[in-house]
Chain A
Amino acid sequence: MRVYNSFIVALAVTFTLITLFMSLFQVAGLDAYFAVYTIALLVLIALFTVFSPRARRNLNQVGIGAFGGFMVIVAVKIVEILSGK
């Protein structure tokens, strides 16, 4: 199960680095953090090609959930822009 460990470690390191860099650039919106986390998660899922079909199917479900959240954030932002807030 070393591939699972590698994936979890890679994800943890990526999330930490993202948080570090975004806080250095003083990003204040939680939605921005979530959007970047989602992109990082989807990229890592795509990069780890050696998962078993079952693990990939399960991970894709998490990816779809995160992507759904990302789309909600985008939709809210579009509504905000269109309503001129």
Chain B
Amino acid sequence: MSNLTGNTPESRKKTRNPYRSLGLVLTVAGALLAPVFYFLAASVPLTALALSAIILGLVSATLANARPEITPEAAQMMLRTGMENIASLLEELGLTSRAIYLPSPEKGGRPKAVIPLKEDGFVPEVTRIVPDRLITRFGPNLENMCLSVTTPGSISLDGIPLVRGGGTGQVESALSQVLVGLMDLADSVSLHTDERRLLVDVTNPKLKYDNVWYCRSLGSPVASVVAAIASEGLARPLRIKSEKAEGKNVRIELEILP
């Protein structure tokens, strides 16, 4: 067995976290320099600068504790694995219909994306979707069968203060929190809405995934996250109508279904 000393998750976290190192350097340097500036140099502005370094160091160390314990590379690998598996499933079943993003059931649970096995324009009923089933019925007829999958957007809502049906204001705030703050996938997000559609402008999206089967059904990963969050925030079923790249931005058009 290989020697794992010094290779525990805790020790790796401590050594690899640049915010913790920065925090330590700033706090120690500030604490050492403050008395020197105050008593030896007798300079209040320089002492204040050392004090600000201590505050900055504490902020940096605090942010270090908020960083996820796994690396972005590991997170990306796991995300790709999930997407590859869904894409394989779609390809194997020959599904080309576009996914409908549903809000979570009122009783509780996660928002889901359903991919009808036959696209006949029937909008799924949230109450009919059986939670924790991959293949489920979504309508009154026997042929209303669909694949029901959990998307990264559904999972990303854990811990985000988004109330089911909270409205467009909450949707925009949650999108910014998830895409910019939590996932670091974009620089900014803005949202425009009318009765039947939702336009979401994502500035400088980072995650590219070009699998035809996945994107044709569920949209790009960023659009999928946007649709899942918007569906939950509006408590309405949604479908990704289009995604257009405009320079560094991407405009995602979501169709609000009845």
Which chain A residues have a beta carbon within 8 Å of chain B's beta carbons? 1-4, 7-8, 11-12, 15-16, 18-19, 22-23, 27-30, 33-34, 37, 41, 49-55, 57-59, 61-62, 65-66
Contact = CB atoms under 8 A, between A and B. Distances in A.
Contact of A58 (B44, B65, B159): B65
Contacts of A51: 66, 177, 181
A59 B63 contact: yes
B52 interface: yes
Nearest to A48: B181
B56 A29 contact: no
Contacts of A3: 180-181, 184
A7 B108 CA distance: 35
A5 B159 CA distance: 22
A11 B45 contact: no
A11 B160 contact: no
B36 interface: no
Given A12-B56, A58-B65, 10 more contacts: A8-B19, A19-B52, A49-B176, A50-B180, A53-B160, A54-B66, A55-B181, A58-B62, A61-B62, A62-B62
Contacts of A28: 44
A51 B160 CA distance: 10
A18 B65 CA distance: 28
Nearest to A65: B58
Interface string B147-175: 00000000000011100000000000100
- How many of chain B's residues touch chain A, expressed as a range? 20 to 34
A15 B159 CA distance: 32
A37 B51 contact: yes
A23 B60 CA distance: 25
B60 A8 contact: yes
Contacts, number: 99
Question: Which of B22, B65, B161 has the most chain A CB atoms closer than 10 A to its own CB?
Answer: B65
A34 B228 CA distance: 44
A48 B45 CA distance: 27
A65 to B, nearest CB: 8
Given A50-B177, A53-B159, A7 B63 contact: yes
Nearest to B18: A1
Closest 10 CB pairs of A and B: A23-B45, A55-B66, A50-B181, A33-B48, A15-B52, A50-B180, A58-B62, A54-B66, A52-B182, A50-B176
B67 interface: yes
A22 B46 CA distance: 11
B52 to A, nearest CB: 4
B56 A1 contact: no
A22 B59 contact: no
Interface in B212-250: none
